[in-house]
Amino acid sequence: MLNVTKDQIGTTTLVKLSGVIDEEADLNKLIGNLTSEATIDCMGIERINSVGCKAWIRFFQKLQVEKKRFKFVACSVVFMEQTNMISNFACGGTIESFYAPFICVSCGAEGSQLLVSEDIGTKGYQAPLISCLKCGKPMELDADPEDYFYFLNSRP
């Protein structure tokens, strides 16, 4: 099930999504109309199935046609997997920040880290250095950086 909260901050609508995007998630009903600018917080998206993915693209393509401005922030790893698999998943929206999976090479601890798209772009698509919370040793991106940061190539 998909949970949606909406807050109006000045001219921007902040939409927070959490849960599962599947055939049960009626985006038109749950998100509804948006003002000219929207920030979509995708931190809580846990799963997107193929039906949900199609509905997602339909919903955001409509916003794109209506010339609404929207951006995605704090995108979950699940969101990023879709983005890197389906080129028009963001429908012209900017992905401002996103989570990336990290793994510690020394102790095997796993975690995810919030990254800012612009920072990664300026650092030549390299994952930043992150210290393990458990042992303090460096952690590595638990994905191929070329794949995981692929979406940055199509940034407007």
Point out which residues bind Zn ion (CB under 5 A): 104, 106-107, 109, 132, 134-135, 137
Residue 110: Cβ-neighbour burial (10 angstroms; 0-12, 13-18, 19+): exposed
Q: What is the C-alpha separation between 28 and 18, in angstroms, rounded? A: 16
CB nearer to Zn ion: give 44 or 101. Answer: 101
Choice between 32 and 138, CB closer to Zn ion: 138
CB of 115 to Zn ion, least distance (A): 19
Read off the amino acid at residue 27: L
Cα–Cα distance, 26 to 57 (Å, whole number) = 12
Spatial CB neighbours of 87, under 8 Å, sequence gap ≥ 6: 154
Q: How far is the CB of 129 from Zn ion (least distance, A)?
A: 13
Task: Choose between 35 and 106: whose C-beta lies nearer to Zn ion.
Answer: 106
Which amino acid is located at 119 in the chain?
D
In terms of CB distance, is 63 or 127 closer to Zn ion?
A: 127
Closer residue to Zn ion, CB minimum distance, 17 or 104: 104
Q: How far is the CB of 16 from Zn ion (least distance, A)?
A: 31
CA distances from 96 to 40, 49, 156 (A): 10, 23, 12
80 contacts 73 by C-beta, under 8 angstroms: no
Closest separation in Å from C-beta 110 to Zn ion: 10
CB of 103 to Zn ion, least distance (A): 9
